[in-house]
Amino acid sequence: MTRQERAGWLFAAPVLAIIALVFVLPTALALCLSVTDYSIYALADWSNLRFVGLGNFTDLLSTPLFWRALANTLIFAALGVPMAIGTSLFVALLLNDATVRWKPLWRVLLFAPYVTSIVATAVVWRFLFNQRFGLINRALGAIGVAPVDWLGNPHLSIPAILIFVTWKVFGYNMIVFTAALAAVPQDLMEAARLDGASRWARFRHVTLPAIGPTLLLATVMSVAGFLQIFAEPYVMTMGGPAQSTTTLLYFMFDEGFKWWNLGQASAVAFVLFVMTLAVTVVQTRLGRRREWL
């Protein structure tokens, strides 16, 4: 072993060992756990553990709350991704305008919600959404809208939480898009302008092709993010009302750490994993096939 090789292993081994212990090993065990009936009885005594094959998965299929959680998660992603990405892009385009002054100031302030604790800001937004005393309903009242029961109405609970999530996360992709927009070829833009292309035409045929790959990557990555929503409904609605905000991860948490059905919960984790994997496959496929949107 050369000196360099020894040093290489010495530097890399500690973190690799920890990754193996807290990530690789448990992920492999999750697979094993999902084919057992691990429950509170097994927690007390390992001898109560039985192999159940795909039993947990077939059980899931006949659990209405699982389907509800799956549907809710998909709704969160289907509505949330366009909301969040659209907001990020809109703000980035606005910020990209050459005539805007004090850009660094706006950028930092617009990004600020991203670094805050989800739990703390969820508490704040739950208060803003309060039907009687909330600031949002007061603002709506000023323009003549009757008080809305944001978090108490099963049809509005997901949109309400998504407004909060969008506020919280749009800054991240705003920064990413700002950087991509700065790389849009200016001579091309100028040529289009001289040719008399409208604002929209310039956006559609110059800006969009240039930022297409970034936009696509950001979209796919936010799908993966929205599939993992947990803390927001945990703090704001406890999964309700009428289970309208119970997400897959929320369901997994309840199954696993409230009812101690760790076998069943692992099956849910596995479903989540497969969904994330599917998203990633789509990402690499799209990335390879198309240069831009």
What's the rounded Cα separation, in Å, for the pair 231 and 196?
49
Q: How far is the CB of 173 from another protein (least distance, A)?
A: 9
Cβ–Cβ under 8 Å, residues 250 and 43: no
- CA neighbours within 13 Å on the CB side: how many for 103? 14
Instruction: Measure the CA–CA gap between 92 and 15, rounded to whole angstroms.
Output: 37
- Shortest CB 158 distance to another protein, Å: 19
Contact 60, 66 (CB under 8 A): yes
Q: Which is nearer to another protein, 63 or 228 (CB)?
A: 228
Per-residue tokens: 132 = 């009687």
Q: How far, in Å, CA of 157 to CA of 203, rounded?
A: 34
Matching residue, tokens 């789509």: 282
Nearer to another protein, 206 or 267 (CB): 267
Identify which of residues 15 and 61 has a Cβ nearer to another protein in the complex.
15
CA–CA gap between residue 122 and residue 232 (Å, rounded): 6
Q: Smallest distance from the beta carbon of 186 to another protein, in angstroms? A: 18
Q: Which CB, 32 or 71, lies closer to another protein? A: 32
Shortest distance in whole angstroms from residue 53 CB to another protein: 18
What's the rounded Cα separation, in Å, for the pair 83 and 156?
Answer: 15
CB-nearer residue toward another protein: 89 or 227: 227
**How much of the chain is in helix, strand and coil states, percent to nearest 5?**
75, 0, 25
Which CB sits closer to another protein, 68 or 107? Answer: 107
Q: Please, what is the minimum distance in Å from the beta carbon of residue 62 to another protein?
A: 21
User: What's the one-letter identity of residue 121?
Assistant: T
Least distance CB 167 / another protein (angstroms): 7
